[in-house]
Amino acid sequence: MDAAQSADAPPSNTVIIGIDFGTTYSSRMEVIASWESDLHSTSDEEKTPSAISFGTNNKVSWGYNISLYAEQVKWFKLLLIDDKDLPDDVKDSVKIKEARAYLKKHNKSANERITETVSRNLVNYSKFHIVITIPAIWPEYARVRMRNAASDAGMLGKRIAGDTELSFISEPEAAALATLSDMQGRSDLKIGDSFVVVDCGGDAVDLISYEVVSIAPMVDKECGLCGAVFVDEAFLEVLKHKFGKKSWKKMDPETRQRLVHDEWEHGIKQTFDGRERSWTIKMPFECVDIQQMKKGGGQPKVTLTAADVRAAFQPTVDKIRGMVNEQVLAVKTTNGVDPKYVIMVGGFGRCKYLLSSLKESFRDTEILQSRGSGPWAAICRGAVPHAASLRGLAPFSVEVQARIARISCIVKMSENRCPWKHDPADKYWNDDYQAWKANNQMDWLLKAV
């Protein structure tokens, strides 16, 4: 998703670019839905795949420009996190490539689309402010690595209008800002109402809770690595079992990708809501026993039942349901009542089966799930107005008044010695103050809740 927001106020124009750099899909803000593609399939989507392909002769393809069946690198966003901070099942799935190659292509495309939208002259003489969304629980070192990747990709290079500014906002907060903005003016929202935003992405699920016109957020953010890609991997295991090891091994990688793309990504995955039904899939010809076909057996088929599909969804859905339950209980502990709404956003947040599962589990809280592109693009839609508000370029009617700290921050200091309070080992004489002091004391600048 591509976005540019400009302001004509002095001293200069500013173009704000919001980037939702996802593990499986990425977007930029203004909804310029014309992603670069040399292929026949459409690229008019709010997001582009977070994938890159290193072909022959140093040719690099990215997003929708990658052939459906070409070898491609995904999940490279997770390379910004140390192995010790990743679960074992995620660590084993990551392929090693630098994020900067993808960001370089992403940045080039963004500049081209923005220029087409507002003119080359305005772009050249406008300051750039890039805001990148990041997962709620990313450690501080990952922000530094993301900044370095953006710099290496040329996103922070010198420009006529001045240095490009880079800032970050957590993904659930950006999604919450977009969601709150969408809900403005509703008569059923009043002061004191609370709600939980569940951002279900490709790799992770972020949750955050807010109270309307009050200290916000109410409870700490949560993040779990239990996104849509884990459902995809589980479905592959179901297919392998149905086809059988011998038939599965006969298929080349392109045939497998075509099968998953046609039957799963654009079929079963989007429509499954938990109800009993079945799906029939024809086995590719390379899996077929020729002698069996000569006997009149026809092209073999496999049948998937609702139980088969449910088995692929259930581990991930159960994890999400557990996280939502913890967040709902935290809101009730803090506020005394259940949250009024649980609002689902993100690509996997549009999943029908996830919606029905949450509705079944949380009967006292209404589960909201918008249709269309709104939930998928919520993170990016909240990022740009947030940055514009920070720069004073445009009033954003929804803002976060306070946040709950995830970490504590202290400074080492000395203070006047108190015999009953301080360790004798910390006692020393300060000539400047002509007084006994206690060294190695702590001053809490910020305390985690």
Angle between helices 99-118 and 140-152 (to 10 degrees): 60
Q: Which two tokens stand for residue 166?
A: 């880079």
End-to-end CA separation in angstroms for the chain:
35
Tell me what pLDDT residue 267 has: 86
Structural domain for 421, as ranges: 409-446
Q: Which two tokens stand for residue 398?
A: 């929804």
Residue 40 lies in a domain: yes
Least confident of 236-245, 294-303, 327-336, 422-431: 294-303
CA distances from 422 to 354, 384, 418 (A): 55, 49, 6
Domain assignment present for residue 240? The answer is no
Cα dihedral across residues 85, 216, 210, 380: positive or negative = negative
Q: Tell me, yes or no, whether 76 and 119 share the same domain.
A: yes
Same domain flag for 108 and 53: yes
**Is 81 among the domain residues?**
yes
Residue 84 lies in a domain: yes
428 confidence band (pLDDT: 50, 70, 90): very high
Q: In terms of Cα–Cα distance, which of 317, 107, 324, 336 is closest to 211?
A: 336
* Number of neighbours of residue 379 by Cβ within 10 angstroms: 33
CA angle (196 as vertex; 321, 319 as ends), nearest 5? 15
Pairing of strands 194-200, 341-345: parallel
Q: Is 281 helix (H, G, I), strand (E, B) or coil?
A: strand
Nearest-10 Cα torsion for 94, 96, 100, 101:
-110
CATH number of the domain that 161 lies in?
Answer: 3.30.420
Find out whether 225 and 204 touch, Cβ atoms under 8 Å.
Answer: yes
Count CA within 13 A, CB hemisphere, residue 164. Answer: 21
Position 10 in a domain = yes
Give pLDDT, residue 385. Answer: 72
Is 241 part of a structural domain of the chain? no
Q: Are residues 95 and 47 in the same domain?
A: yes
With a CB cutoff of 8 Å and minimum separation 6, the contacts of 73 are: 51, 52, 53, 54, 95, 97
Name the residue with tokens 């001053």: 443
Per-residue pLDDT of 359-368, as tens digits, reads 999 988 888 8
| Whether residue 64 is found in the same domain as residue 112 | yes
Report the pLDDT averaged over residues 166-179: 80
Q: How many domains does the chain have?
A: 2
- Tell me what the mean pLDDT of segment 158-187 comes to: 78
pLDDT tens, 386-408?
Answer: 777 766 665 555 555 555 556 67
For position 264, what pLDDT does the model report? 87
* Helix, strand or coil, per DSSP, at residue 21: strand
Are 63 and 93 members of one domain? yes
Say if 31 falls within a structural domain: yes
Helices assigned H by DSSP within 119-252: 120-124, 140-152, 171-183, 228-243, 245-250
Co-location of 383 and 420 in the same domain? no
- The answer to whether residue 217 sits within a structural domain is no
If you search the block for the tokens 């073999």, which residue do you land on?
300
Give the per-residue pLDDT at 194: 81
Shared domain check, 147 and 99 = yes
Which helix (H) or strand (E) segment holds residue 257: the answer is helix 253-259
Same domain? For 383 and 417 the reply is: no
Pick the more confident residue, 421 or 289.
Answer: 421
| Pairing label, strands 52-54, 205-211 | unpaired
pLDDT of 308 higher than 90: yes
